[in-house]
Structure 1
Amino acid sequence: MEFQYQNSYEVKDKIDQSKIAILPIGAVEAHGPHLPLGTDNLLAERLSAKLAERVNGLQLPTLPYGQVWSLRNFPGSINISNDALIHMLVDIGESLYKQGFATFAMVNGHLGNGTALKEAARALYETCPEMRVFYFFYPGMNQAAAEVRETDSAHSTYFHACEIETSYMLYLAPEYVEMDKAITDIPDIPMHADVTPTPWEEFTKTAVLGDAKLATKEKGKYIVDIALENMVKLINM
């Protein structure tokens, strides 16, 4: 159920019936020639809708901006600071707590938001001790992706506009994918990128980290459904 389309006269009863708030969080950034700037928003939003249906949650409006420092110099990317994101998430969480929610699940579509989400959850742990706070980023995806991918990952952590993320889009938002424009770009990511600030233009001109041509809806469904099942289990535990 989408929170923003409820009215103030009836929403209190719906909060009491659900107690679960689900916030999709994404970003606006370059995703190669075949995926839109709002890829992370679309993925977070559509995955959140599936999660809300499974756990009887209330899906909040998507938070569409994220920390995209690494890609901030690519055309179309919009970056906000970790501090700004943390403050907003804490404010949202505290407001939800006052409204009577018992669970706040942040469904993240952008890896770069991870630090801010974790810090916000820690802050809410102190200020909203009776509310469970989750920060989800495709839990269990690493093993699932390894089972279906046809090429090695360009990085042990990063995946971007590649075989995997494009597969997610083909499953969750296929109408926004232009597979005829998909490319293969497997950059050599230097070791120092893991230990010192490194803008991505130092190792890629496309923002694609892999072979997007190998993406399929079936791969995306396999991985996303495993992540969804894990989120459901964690919320219901």
Structure 2
Amino acid sequence: MQFQYENAYDVKERIRSKRAAILPIGAVEAHGPHLPLGTDNVLAERLAAKLAERTDSYLLPTLPYGQVWSLRSFPGSLSVSNEALVLLLCDIGESLHRQGFRVFAMVNGHLGNGTALKEAARRLAESVPELKVYHFFYPGSKDTIARVRESPPVHGAYFHACEIETSYMLYLAGELVDMDKAICDIPNIGDEADCTPTPWETFTETAVLGDATLATKEKGEAIVEASLAVMAEMVNRAKERASG
């Protein structure tokens, strides 16, 4: 159920019933020639909608801007600071708690947001300890990714507009993918990229990190559904504790 379409006369009792709010968080950035700039927003929003449905939780409006430092020089990329994200997420969390929510799940579609989400969750754990806060970025997907992928990862942590992320999009928003334009770009990302700030234009011109031509809807479904099961179990368990 979408929170923004409720009215002030009915929502109070429904919050008491649902207890949990799901916030999709994405970004606007380059995703190669075959995916839209808002890929991370679309993925976060559609994944969060499935999670809200499976846990009988409220779906909050999408937070559509993220920390895009690494790709900020690419055409179309828009970036906000970690500090801005942390402050906004803490304000949202405290406001949700004030309204009666006891579970706050942030569904992240953009790897670059991870530091801010983790910090916001820690601050909320101190300021409103009664609010259980999650920061999700495809938890429980590692084994399924290893099973279905055909191309080796180009980096230990990064995946972007590649076989994996394009498969997510084919499953969750296939109408926005142009596979005729999908490419294979295997950049050489050295160890130094993990040890010092490194803009991605130093190792890629396309913003594609891998072989997007190998993406399929079936791979995306397998990975996304595995992760959804893990997230839903956590949220449902937290809701049960909050109602006990």
The TM tier, using the shorter chain, reads over 0.9
Q: Partner of 1:178 in structure 2?
A: 178
Q: Using the TM superposition, give the Cα deviation of residue 96 of structure 1 relative to its aligned residue in structure 2, in angstroms.
A: 0.2
The count of residues paired between Structure 1 and Structure 2 equals: 237
Q: Show CA shifts across 1:158-183 (max 9, x none).
A: 10000000000000001100000000
Q: Partner of 1:79 in structure 2?
A: 79
Q: Partner of 2:28 in structure 1?
A: 28
Rounded Cα–Cα distance in structure 2 between residues aligned with 1:50 and 1:228: 8
Q: Give, as a single letter, the amino acid of the residue that structure 1 aligns with 2:111.
A: L
Q: Partner of 2:153 in structure 1?
A: 153
Note the residue ranges of structure 1 that are not aligned, 5 or more in a row.
none
Rounded Cα–Cα distance in structure 1 between residues aligned with 2:207 and 2:150: 20
Rounded Cα–Cα distance in structure 2 between residues aligned with 1:233 and 1:23: 17
Q: Give, as a single letter, the amino acid of the residue that structure 2 aligns with 1:157.
A: A
Q: What's the Cα RMSD here?
A: 0.5
Note the residue ranges of structure 2 that are not aligned, 5 or more in a row.
238-244
Q: Partner of 1:112 in structure 2?
A: 112
Q: Give, as a single letter, the amino acid of the residue that structure 2 aligns with 1:112.
A: G
Q: 1:1-237 counterparts in 2 under 5 A?
A: 1-237=1-237
Rounded Cα–Cα distance in structure 2 between residues aligned with 1:162 and 1:8: 43
Q: Partner of 2:241 in structure 1?
A: none
Q: Partner of 2:240 in structure 1?
A: none
Q: Show CA shifts across 1:57-85 (max 9, x none).
A: 00000000000100000000000000000
Rounded Cα–Cα distance in structure 1 between residues aligned with 2:176 and 2:7: 31
Q: Using the TM superposition, give the Cα deviation of residue 142 of structure 1 relative to its aligned residue in structure 2, in angstroms.
A: 1.8
| Aligned-pair identity (%) | 68
**3-state DSSP class of the match of 1:77?**
coil
Q: Give, as a single letter, the amino acid of the residue that structure 1 aligns with 2:102.
A: A
Rounded Cα–Cα distance in structure 2 between residues aligned with 1:114 and 1:33: 25
Rounded Cα–Cα distance in structure 2 between residues aligned with 1:136 and 1:88: 17
Q: Using the TM superposition, give the Cα deviation of residue 236 of structure 1 relative to its aligned residue in structure 2, in angstroms.
A: 2.1
**3-state DSSP class of the match of 1:44?**
helix
Q: Show CA shifts across 1:125-151 (max 9, x none).
A: 011110100000000122211100000
- Structure 1 runs of 4+ with >3 Å offset: none
